[in-house]
Amino acid sequence: MRLHGRGACSHVMLAAAASWAGRSITYAFQATSISNVEIDHLNFSCPVGRAHFGGGPAHILQMISVTKLSVHDNIADGCGDFLANIGGTDVTAYNNRVTNSDNACFDNWGGFTDSKVIRNTCSLMAASGSGVAGIWFTGTNTDGTAATSRRGTAIGNTIYVNTDNQVGIGLNATSGGVNTGHIVADNRIIVNAVSVFAILATGASECRITHNKIVGIGGVSGAAIRVARPATNCDVKDNLAVNWAKAGSGVFQYTGTTGTVSGNKCSGTCATLLGAFPSGVLHSANDNGAGTGRR
């Protein structure tokens, strides 16, 4: 199946009519348990803010147990998730531009396998805070029960975090869930807020977080990268934070069990580079000498 447009002129608007009872929207497009789906060169939008699109999640693309899904070269503004990948296999999203996302630009959960989010631009809605992320990889089912999610990849994306408590890229899982084998590399995250974790891994194993550039605007108090229990055996290597001035527990924080933290830097005005580490975590740090970065 293919949904194909001609770019900005191929406009699809998702909005609840004032006369609809409850004014609740769930999704613009949904597919369940099908294969070989391509969605490209479309321009999606819905009025900004929950009050306009009702009480539903208002996902633009809700894909459930879809195999071989390609979502590329689309424009999207507003709504909850742009792409909700629920238990999909071999899913790729690339070259999309998503703005004013109220929940997540790219939301992966429900036991997915091999989800790739590559070279997209994502800007989160400024009015939405806790639970909102540019990219989620989650070992959780829709009903909150544990799921097994494997091999999420986020490479080369640009993400704008615009409000406290948002997350640039998040890896988490319900207790008992499996969330493993993820790669977060070469992304650029710009944070225009104070209380933020740009990359947050709280329920992941065997993850690789490397060569990301994370820029703080206005004095960020959260960590540029935080890996926390029950996360285990993750590598945090060769990342760069810029102007991360108020991270009281360290610009790079690792409280998970086992793993490696090395080669990470902070330039500009920076707080203490590394937080405290548990035994079993190998760690070293670099400061490139710019600004007031400290080991």
| pLDDT tens per residue across span 32-87 | 999 999 999 999 988 655 555 555 567 899 999 999 999 999 999 988 899 999 99
Q: What pLDDT sits at residue 288?
A: 45
Average pLDDT, the chain: 85
Give me the residues paired with residue 81 across strands. 104
Span 179-209, pLDDT tens digits? 999 999 999 999 998 888 899 999 889 999 9
- Domains of the chain, by residue range, sit at 2-15+25-193
The 10s digit of each residue's pLDDT in 227-277 is 988 888 999 999 999 998 777 778 999 988 888 999 999 998 888 888 766
In this prediction, residue 225 has a pLDDT band, given cuts at 50, 70 and 90, of very high
Residue 289 pLDDT more than 90?
A: no
